[in-house]
Amino acid sequence: MRILRALSALLTYPTDELKAAAPELKAAILSEKLLKPQQSGGLIALVEDLEGGDLFDQQERYLLLFDRIRSLSLHLFEHVHGESRDRGQAMVDLINVYQEGGYMRTSRELPDFLPLFLEFVSTREPQAALEFISQPAHVFYALRERLQKRNSPYAAVFDALIALSNAVPDAEALARLRAEPDPEPDDLAALDADWEEEEVRFGSQADACGGETLRAKVRQGRRPAPGLEAPERPKTIIQHNTSR
């Protein structure tokens, strides 16, 4: 699905290459006609913002949002498992899903990095792809709300994911996310308190991910997704965790 590949690209670190790809991104957003005008319009506005703005300012904005604020992390399991031991097994399970699907990661990002996840999902058959993105619906709802609170154009990406998935989020899981701290990037004391827990590494698969830590800087680059055949039915890889 071209739209999912476009959403993946829009959530990567801004680069000159991303700015140059604006026409291609607009075409991908509009070509499949899967979104209502309000949702596609929000995405086009984000593309135009990235296309016409100052690159340095855009990069700083991206890091302040997605790298500095834990509640806006683009690592899905940060919101699902937090620092629990379940996170390690979830990483292994997701790596296995990628491998079983014939998907070869070309990035050193952790497997739950949302742009990477969306890149994988974009290679699936449409029905399987939509089932995959319905699994973390509660995360998408929470991230959309937090970005809307900040008047961020990136909220449009999560608005689109919610519309595409057509999923009703788990009410209890969403309530837990809403109750978590959501500090602003200039509230240093709150940020320090939010990040004070020890970083978690996942043994052998940390090596498989290039030794990245959970707070690794978001790396840049858009990776072409290979055309692969879809599995018969997607596995459940993102489950609600009640032990955070």
Residue 20 lies in a domain: yes
Does the pLDDT at position 57 exceed 50? yes
154: nearest Cα among 80, 225, 53, 50: 50
For residue 204, count other CB atoms closer than 10 A to its CB: 8
Domain for residue 213, yes or no?
A: no
* Torsion sign across C-alpha atoms 15, 16, 17, 20: positive
For the entire predicted model, the pTM comes to: 0.77
Q: What is the pLDDT of residue 243?
A: 53
In a domain, 199, yes or no: no
CB 86 within 8 A of CB 112: no
User: According to the model, what pLDDT value does residue 187 have?
Assistant: 56
pLDDT digits (tens, 9 = 90+) for 25-39: 999 999 989 999 999
- C-alpha distances out from residue 25 to 47, 166, 239, Å: 7, 22, 31
108 falls within a domain: no
Total number of domains constituting the chain: 1
Per DSSP, 113 falls in state B
Answer whether residue 7 is part of any domain.
yes
- Domain membership of residue 88 (yes or no) is no
* Position 175 pLDDT exceeds 50: yes
Higher pLDDT pick, 212 / 171? 171
With pLDDT > 70 as the criterion, what percentage of the chain qualifies?
Answer: 73
pLDDT tens per residue, range 75-88? 998 888 766 677 88
> Do residues 219 and 109 make contact, with C-beta atoms less than 8 angstroms apart?
yes
